[in-house]
Amino acid sequence: MESGYTNLMDIENCILGRRSVRVYRPGGIPDEVIERGIELAEQAPCAGNLQEREYVVVRSREVKEKLSSAALSQPQPKEADVVVVFCANLERMGNYGQRGADLYAPQDVAAAIENFLLFIHSQGYGAVWVGAFTESKVSEALDLPRYIKPMAIVPVGIPGEIPKPPSKRPLNEKIHYEKWE
């Protein structure tokens, strides 16, 4: 399959190489990279195909500073070139009710974020999934309506450093067959 994007890699290397990049060098991320990343994020599964995911792309220094403040003063939102705030449109959850808002929407948005993070990595850029934030402050910074719930802040930039792989528990401690052992 032909693509206008460079630095494509096979899926295993992409998954194994992706890291949470928290330090960025100066430089811009092209709009088309962010937009393509969101297109690919939208290919993730979603409950009932309700397509409740919404995205707010932020380049404004002032808004990024507000997002950094909302994210418990984590510096990544204000230091990254661009920030994508992944949201859920709770009005679109239809007849799934509270289960849709509490379970399906977070799952759907999480799947989209992972697609986005993998694409950003495949393009040679870095990003981090920020989940620690004060929801009301993010909503205020972005003028979100009440039915839009911010789910994650994802700063994107040119990596200033690539973290070492984190240690992982052995799979034999995590995999359970047939029942909990």
108-163 tens-digit pLDDT: 999 999 999 999 999 999 999 999 999 999 999 999 999 999 999 999 999 999 88
Domain-located, residue 144: yes
Q: What percent of the chain has pLDDT over 90?
A: 90
Report residue 5's pLDDT band, with 50, 70 and 90 as the boundaries.
low
> Is pLDDT above 70 for 8?
no
In contact, 26 and 158? CB cutoff 8 Å: yes
Beta carbons of 163 and 88 less than 8 angstroms apart: no
What confidence tier does 4 reach under pLDDT thresholds 50, 70, 90? low
Place of tokens 């910074």: 141
3-class DSSP state for residue 128? coil
> CA nearest 144: which of 92, 71, 86?
86
- The number of folded domains in the chain is 1
Give the pLDDT of residue 162.
Answer: 87
How many alpha carbons lie under 13 Å from residue 51 in its C-beta half-sphere? 4
Kindly state whether residue 57 falls inside one of the protein's structural domains: yes
Alpha helices per DSSP H over 24-71: 31-41, 61-70
Residue 129 belongs to domain spanning: 22-157
Distance between CA 85 and CA 58 in Å, rounded? 8
Residues 79/26, Cβ–Cβ less than 8 Å: no
170 in a structural domain:
no
Structure tokens at 94: 């239809």
Q: Where are the beta strands (DSSP E) in the chain?
A: 24-25, 53-58, 82-89, 126-127, 148-159
Asked whether residue 16 is assigned to any structural domain, the reply reads no
Establish if 178 belongs to a structural domain. no
Q: Does position 25 have pLDDT exceeding 70, yes or no?
A: yes
Whole-model pTM over 0.85: yes
Q: Indicate whether 77 belongs to any domain.
A: yes
Domain with 102 in it: what CATH number? 3.40.109.10
Residue 179 lies in a domain: no
Does residue 17 lie within any of the structural domains? no
**pLDDT score, position 141:** 98
Q: So what's the pLDDT on residue 174?
A: 95
CA 163 to centroid of chain Cα atoms:
18
pLDDT surpasses 50 at 1: no
What residues contact residue 78 under an 8 Å CB cut-off, 6+ apart? 61, 64, 65, 67, 68
Q: Output the average pLDDT for the chain.
A: 94
| Helix H or strand E encompassing 89 | strand 82-89
- pLDDT tens, 150-164? 999 999 999 999 889
Nearest to 57 by CA among 26, 27, 36: 36
